[in-house]
Amino acid sequence: MSLSAAWPINPWRWLALPALICIGATMLFAAPFRVFGLQLPEPIFAMVPTFAWAVIRPSVLAPFGVLLLGLFLDSFLGGPMGLWGLSLLAAYATVLLMRKLMSGQSRAMMWAWFAGSTGIAMLAGFFFTMLDSLAIPSLVGVLWQFLATVLLFPFADYLVDQFEDADVRFR
Amino acid sequence: MAFRESALGELKVPLTWTAAVAVVVAGIIAVALLVSDRRETLQEEAYGAARKTVDTVAAPVSGAIAAPGRWTGQGLSWISVYFFTASENRKLRRELEEMRSWRDTAIGLKEQNDRYQALLGLKLNPPIPMVAARVVADSRGPFANARIADTGRSRGVTVGNPVVSERGLVGRVAGVTNSASRVLLLTDIASRTPVMINRTNARAILTGDGGPNPKLEYLRRDDLVKAGDLVVTSGDGGVLPRGLPVGVAVKDIRGNWRVALAADNTSIDFVQIIKFVDFSQLADIKALSEAEMPPVTTKDPQATVLRPNAAMQAPQALNSPKVTAIVAPLASVPRPLPKPVSPLTPVQAVAPPPPPVAATMAATQLISPATPQFNGRR
């Protein structure tokens, strides 16, 4: 069988490297830095690979990559263990289900899809936090984090562009 | 031979379904972790090995990442000082004049306080030690508000220690490793802090929700607080010392009382960890129950403890076995005779020692010397 149309992509390139970059960016933006009373925003960088991995191709490794990223977020940010893992997986599963609808869409439309998947992750986080802490998180805080995360779409778009055509079976 | 060219190469695995199974398995793992998480209990055991490992690794890495930001801040501060030296000097001179009068007042009050303490025979606990720490990471999202400080168990920090800035309470230590501490901020959704309104002594629970201003809950009545009231820790429950400033009461647009935190107005890269121990919580129940009582050896309890006239007034009741059993241990305790009152220490010689709880509360006066007005009432 010829592999000309279906060359396997290296998991280190499309899974490990983006995940490591996300971890680095998260740590960078967690620096205690305040200018004129304003702090850096705290976007969820892990949404970038979560969205892109689901769009690029279905994979067995990617969900566990998403889970590991979520567990890192929980450990590093100090939230309940499993919260971001579950929230990101909810977004990943939704995008995986809808990926056929996304194929061939314009960039603006993909941005809307990215915003939708981010919204699902944030809503899941809101809901699970409510159940876990028996308290309602600040909606304003959720909204700010959502807006900061949605602005990361160009990075997700770049990642999709890099690997979307790597294996024509998944186009 | 490559896999694709082997006999198994034609075996087609339904990858979408396999991926779906992987999602479900990962989801189950995440749910199990979330259900078993007990971070809100602020117990040493609840802070798992994974978190400790991440904290241990993240502290130096984040410290290195944060260093350029810190240097930039210091540079900006230096430039600001350079350009505004004259105005700063005028401002400092005004403050110095004001502080001189406060210094005289403070000296007078200190002498008065020392005299009262001598009169009452108060035995205060020694000053509670503090540890300064640099914050290397700060999470401020809606679901978690915590900081990592670069000081840990090696310097005596333990889980539950209060963390303050120069203005007021920041949070509590939620997890500790040998070289790093995780500080749960007051704004975190899992944070519950017993506080009181300084003006009325009304108790409330400060409840974080991920926003900048935590809520004041369980206030008994709404008229016990008004906008601008100072909110301090109440010390109830023994988890925090009493009288640490927290912030001022503000009302949100829905009419709920919240607190504008005092610590918001300070730099966020340095904190102090108070190595606070609540002495009223130190009783080791297990050790107490296992310890053997000394043998009771009395010859005649009535003759040694009871006065003759008291025994005559109620001879039948005192001779009952129950009363004898209660009185007998007391009889074995030697009772010193009251000493004659010394002219130098008239009250201390006869004053009973204060109970441990009162002594603990008194110790809080030593924590925040800048806020002596918070410690006067109980």
Res B296: pLDDT: 65
Residue B204 near residue B219, CB atoms below 8 Å? yes
Reported confidence tier of residue B13, pLDDT bands at 50, 70, 90: low
Q: Is the dihedral of CA B205, B209, B214, B220 positive or negative?
A: negative
Q: Is residue B143 part of a domain?
A: yes
As given in the structure block, the two tokens for residue B295 are 């043998």
Residue A169 within a domain: no
Average pLDDT over residues A70-85: 90
Domains in chain A: how many in total? 1
Interface contact flag, A32 B268, Cβ < 8 Å? yes
DSSP at B127: P
Q: Treating both helix axes as pointing N-terminal to C-terminal, what angle do A61-77 and A47-56 enclose, rounded to 10 degrees?
A: 180
Q: Which residue has the higher pLDDT, B163 or A41?
A: B163
A134 vs B330, higher pLDDT: A134
The predicted pLDDT at position A3 comes to 45
Cβ A133–B138 below 8 Å, yes or no? no
Is the CB of A33 less than 8 angstroms away from the CB of B66?
A: yes
**Residue of B61, B143, B217 for testing the chain A interface, max A β-carbons within 10 Å:** B143
Q: Which residue has the higher pLDDT, A163 or B172?
A: B172
Residues B65 and A30: their CA atoms lie apart, in Å, by 9
Look at residue B41 and tell me if it is in a domain: no
Q: What is the pLDDT of residues B112-166, one digit of tens each?
A: 998 998 888 877 766 788 899 998 888 888 898 999 999 989 998 988 899 998 8
**Mean per-residue pLDDT for B349-356?**
40
Domain-embedded: residue B242: yes
Which 3 state secondary structure label does DSSP give B222? Answer: helix
- 3-state secondary structure labels for all residues of A99-167: HHHHCCCCHHHHHHHHHHHHHHHHHHHHHHHHHHHCCCCCHHHHHHHHHHHHCCHHHHHHHHHHHCCCE
Among B34-38, B94-98, B371-375, which stretch is predicted with the lowest mean pLDDT?
B371-375
Q: Cα B25 vs. chain centroid, distance in angstroms? A: 40
Residue B219 within a domain: yes
Q: Which residues of B touch A75 (CB under 8 A)?
A: 50-51, 54-55
Query: Closest chain B residue to A65 measured between Cα atoms?
Result: B26
Cα distance between residue B24 and residue A18, in whole Å = 23
Segments forming the whole domain that contains residue A15:
11-28+41-163
B46 touches chain A (CB under 8 A): no
B348 domain-assigned: no
In a domain, B167, yes or no: yes
User: Model pTM?
Assistant: 0.71
Is residue B199 in some structural domain? Answer: yes
In the DSSP assignment, the letter for residue B43 is: -
Q: Is residue A3 part of a domain?
A: no
Instruction: Tell whether the model's pLDDT for residue B297 goes beyond 70.
Output: no
Question: B77 falls in which pLDDT band (50, 70, 90)?
Answer: confident
Please report whether residue A82 resides in a domain.
yes
Nearest beta carbon to residue B209 from set A125, A137, A144: A137
> Would the CB atoms of B15 and A72 count as touching at under 8 Å?
no
3-state DSSP of A50-97: HHHHHHHCCCCHHHHHHHHHHHHHHHHHCCCCCHHHHHHHHHHHHHHH
Residues of A in contact with B193 (CB under 8 A): none
Report d(CA A20, CA A159) in Å as an integer: 14
CA distance B283 to B286: 9
pLDDT, tens digit (0-9, with 9 covering 90-100), for A101-118? 888 888 999 999 999 999
Residue in the block written with tokens 């009545």: B221
Give the model confidence (pLDDT) of B205-255 as tens digits. 999 988 889 999 998 888 889 999 999 999 888 888 888 899 999 998 888
Q: Is the dihedral of CA B323, B329, B330, B331 positive or negative?
A: positive
What CATH number corresponds to the domain at position B270?
A: 2.40.10.340
Q: How confident is the model at residue A122 (pLDDT cuts 50, 70, 90)?
A: very high
- What SS3 string covers B141-206? CCCCEEEEECCCHHHCCCCCCEEECCCCEEEEEEEECCCCEEEEECCCCCCEEEEEECCCCCEEEE
Residues 332-351 of B with CB under 8 A from A: none
**What was the pLDDT predicted at B5?**
56
Residue A34 lies in a domain: no
Tally of domains in chain B: 1
Q: Which of B96, B46, B71, B160 is nearest to A33 (CA)?
A: B71
| ipTM tops the 0.95 cut | no
Flag the least confident range among B16-30, B245-259, B315-329.
Answer: B315-329
